[in-house]
Amino acid sequence: MRIATWNVNSLKARLPRVLEWLEMAQPDVLCMQETKLADDQVPALDFEALGYTVLHHGEGRWNGVAIASRCGIDGHASGFGDIEDPYVGDARLVAATCDGVRIVCVYVPNGRAVGTDTYERKLAWLHRLREWLETHHSPDQPLVVGGDFNVAPEDRDVYDPAAFEGATHVSEAERKRFEALKEWGLVDAFREIYDSDRLYTWWDYRAGHFHKHLGMRIDHILVTEPVRARLRYALVDRNARKGEKPSDHAPLFVDLAD
């Protein structure tokens, strides 16, 4: 079973690239973030033509999350439900069960700048995510949280820690909230496979950062122990960041044994 996550930065603008990637990489499940679509704007037929069913949660313009699956998609859920959402109104969480694995697709708020209100609510959102997991799920069940976490967990996950001093994505508080998710019972699947630094999932569009390989590892696939036991492979497909009209994120996927 191949499970992928990709911040597509507008599914409308990125549709040809996403369809091309589905055909090439053949994931069974793809979590998408920043679709920037309303539910009724989703190009469902384009996905169906490739064998995928899409579950979308979005209000249009900003945010928007979706799961495309070709191995079943049941038990739809979106948002935090009864748990207070610090970004209420934004579409940042959608979940479904695909072939026995609970898939949670998240788009963690960016936070903009340390000390701002949006940053404080980013911290709160990450805390609420753990609360939501505690309320609705168990570390004993096969579960995957895939998405754009907007957190680089360690210094080796950014191109130059000095350049990010005082910035979001690397602050102690953000990393603590990210660690708290792992403490609940999740493992960073990518780090189970790779130990190197300079492995990124996002590169700024500006100033030729991709070309200079100045990026950050902020997209993650976190898995519970039953999924970790099946983990065989992980990869960031940097080729998807090249060429015409790329997203600023590359897709990340994991392969699980049957």
Partner DNA sequence: ATGGTAGCGCTGCTA
Question: 207 - beta bridge partners?
Answer: none
Residues 158 and 152 sit within 8 Å (Cβ to Cβ): yes
Return the number of the residue (59 or 225) whose C-beta is nearest DNA: 59
Q: Catalog residues that contact DNA under the rule CB under 7 A.
A: 9-10, 12-14, 36, 60-63, 109-110, 112, 118, 205-207, 245
Residue 193: count of CB within 10 angstroms of its CB: 14
Residue 121 corresponds to which amino acid? R
Smallest gap from residue 202 Cβ to DNA (A):
8
CB nearer to DNA: pick between 109 and 146 = 109
Minimum distance of DNA from residue 33's CB (angstroms): 9
Supply the Cα-derived Rg of the chain in whole angstroms.
17
What does the DSSP assignment read for 47-60? HHTTT-EEEEE-BS
Task: Tell me which residue of 175, 173, 258, 160 sits closest to 220, measured CA to CA.
Answer: 175
**What does residue 231 show for φ and ψ, rounded to 5 degrees?**
-70, 125
Rounded Cα distance between 76 and 73, Å, is 8
Least separation in angstroms between CB 82 and DNA: 24
Nearer to DNA, 112 or 212 (CB): 112
Shortest distance in whole angstroms from residue 13 CB to DNA: 4
Instruction: Pick the closer one to DNA by CB: 207 or 257.
Output: 207
Name the residue nearer to DNA (CB basis): 29 or 108.
108
The minimum distance between CB 15 and DNA, in angstroms, equals 9
Residue placing its CB nearer to DNA in the complex, 125 or 184: 125
Name the minimum Å distance from CB 61 to DNA.
5
Instruction: Measure the CA–CA gap between 33 and 250, rounded to whole angstroms.
Output: 12
**Nearest distance from C-beta of residue 255 to DNA, angstroms:** 28
Task: Name the residue nearer to DNA (CB basis): 28 or 90.
Answer: 90
C-alpha separations of 29 from 18, 73, 118, 234 in Å? 13, 9, 31, 14
Q: Report how far apart, in Å, the C-alpha atoms of 236 and of each of 27, 166, 221 are.
A: 13, 27, 11
Rounded (10°) angle between helices 117-136 and 172-185: 0
